[in-house]
Amino acid sequence: MKKNVNRRIFSLVICFLCLMLPVTLSLSGCSANGTTDSVTLYVYNWGEYISDGSEGCLDSNKAFEEWYYETYGVKVNVNYSTFSSNESLYAKLSSGSVSYDVIVPSDYMIERLIDEELLAELNYDNIPHAAENLLPEFFGETSVHSDYDPGNKYSVPYMYGMIGIIYNTTVIPEDEPNLGSWQLMWDEKYEGNILQFNNSRDAFGSAQYFLGLDVNSDSDEDWRAALEKLKEQKPILQGYVMDEIYNKMENGSAAIAAYYAGDYLAMYENNSDLEFFYPEEGTNLYVDAMCIPKCAKNKEIAERYIDFMLTEEPAVANAEYTYYASPNRVVVESEEYIEYMGEIKEDAYEKMYDTGSVATSTYRNLTGDKLLLINTLWEELKSDVTVSGAIYVMCGIILAVLIACAVASYVKKAYRRKFYVSK
């Protein structure tokens, strides 16, 4: 009898353990086949800057998820979000309120993040395609385009390009004397048709290149001179924009804008009246690179994500989707890619890659006092006309109220006089 009871107890214990096994595995982060539960990889990138599966193109993030599961048996979900400027990326990252695994800042911001110890040093054992596929001018000890991160300890180049001026040929005639110059952005004939960058570094850069000033100047006077040039421009602007530029230039509601070459080609696809040039006074050459913040929770997976984006299929797909120049040899040498660019615009490939005759410079990280100065000047620029306009409006309202009160008082007194006389 006791043996039977023990057997029953034993059976109940076994059943209980079987029932609890899935729960225990779930709590421990494992499933019955020994693999981990799904991991979320947080990626923070520029808008419209990765092949997303639209119109039949490769969904690069989805492809990574599938590849990772097939290769490592781990389910990874890519949580992908976007930012519109390096400054907005910095504000979020430096606040410590968010945690990303992969970010894609530009060169000067990478340098700043390194200086402030916000980036993790990369383990290239997990990123073998960097040395294998990236062009030497963008990666490694001989790189001429990675002064912001010597030896690429913290960053892997993703895309690069140059800033130029987009214009609408139905508004700007072929014989316009300012074509080819930054002067076009300051031409009063096109008041209300001009768009300027809504980020301080690029906006100040446009004025500095126009004035022949160093975009990395240590001189306060140089930055104030650029501010005055931007103040001179402000009354003729339609507005300060970033991603809003697409709709405005594509639908013809604006006719002139400084922006990135790759984005010009994206706009041209939807409006063939648009043209583009690199200003003769000089312009910015930028590199956007993949980095891992120190706050990343999945560093190894993040490194494998970076490496995956350097392989041929996603690298070509991303370059075709963004139209930006790629630092990856498997893209630049791809016949499929070269043919694709030619289908977008006859001179598209040359416009992105054959830029040797254009004078360029790169933005560098500035000292703390200069960054503070730029922020102060930028706020002064953005609030200058707005505050003045608000003052005029308030004065108008006060004046109208005073006039209304005076009229009411006069009417009231006149009515009283009439009442007493008649009485």
> What phi, psi does 212 have (nearest 5°)?
75, 25
Residue that the structure tokens 């993703």 belong to: 158
Q: Which helix (H) or strand (E) holds 402?
A: helix 368-422
Task: Report d(CA 76, CA 38) in Å as an integer.
Answer: 5
> What is the architecture of the domain spanning 39-158+290-322?
3-Layer(aba) Sandwich (3.40)
For 97, the 3-state DSSP assignment is: coil
Q: Residue 230 and residue 184: Cα distance in Å, rounded?
A: 13
Ramachandran region, residue 282 (left: φ > 0; alpha: ψ -120 to 50; beta: rest)? left
To which H or E segment does residue 36 belong? none
Q: What is the pTM of this model?
A: 0.80
Burial label, 113 (beta-carbon count in 10 A; 0-12, 13-18, 19+):
buried
Query: In this predicted structure, what is the pLDDT of residue 263?
Result: 95
Who contacts 360 (Cβ-Cβ below 8 Å, separation ≥6)?
162, 282, 283, 284, 285
274 and 169 Cβ atoms separated by less than 8 Å: yes
Low-confidence ranges of the chain (pLDDT < 70): 1-36, 384-423
List the structure tokens of 305.
């994500």
Which residues, 6 or more positions from 37, have their beta carbon under 8 angstroms from its beta carbon?
26, 29, 30, 31, 75
- Predicted confidence at residue 418, as pLDDT, reads 46
Cα distances from 110 to residues 86, 282, 292, 363, 399, in angstroms, run: 9, 23, 11, 11, 52
Kindly report, residue by residue over 333-361, the tens digit of the pLDDT.
Answer: 999 999 999 999 999 999 999 877 889 99
Nearest CA among 158, 154, 82, 83 for reference residue 119: 154
Note the pLDDT tens digit of each residue in 364-413: 999 999 999 999 999 999 996 444 444 444 545 566 556 665 555 654 55
Predicted local distance difference test score (pLDDT) of residue 395? 45
**45: part of which helix (H) or strand (E)?**
strand 39-46
Q: What is the pLDDT of residue 185?
A: 98
Query: According to the model, what pLDDT value does residue 409 have?
Result: 60
Instruction: With CA atoms as reference, report the closest residue to 40 among 74, 70, 82.
Output: 74
**What is the spatial distance between Cα 382 and Cα 196, in angstroms, rounded to a whole number?**
12
3-state secondary structure of 56: helix
Alpha carbon 419 to its chain centroid, in Å, reads 72
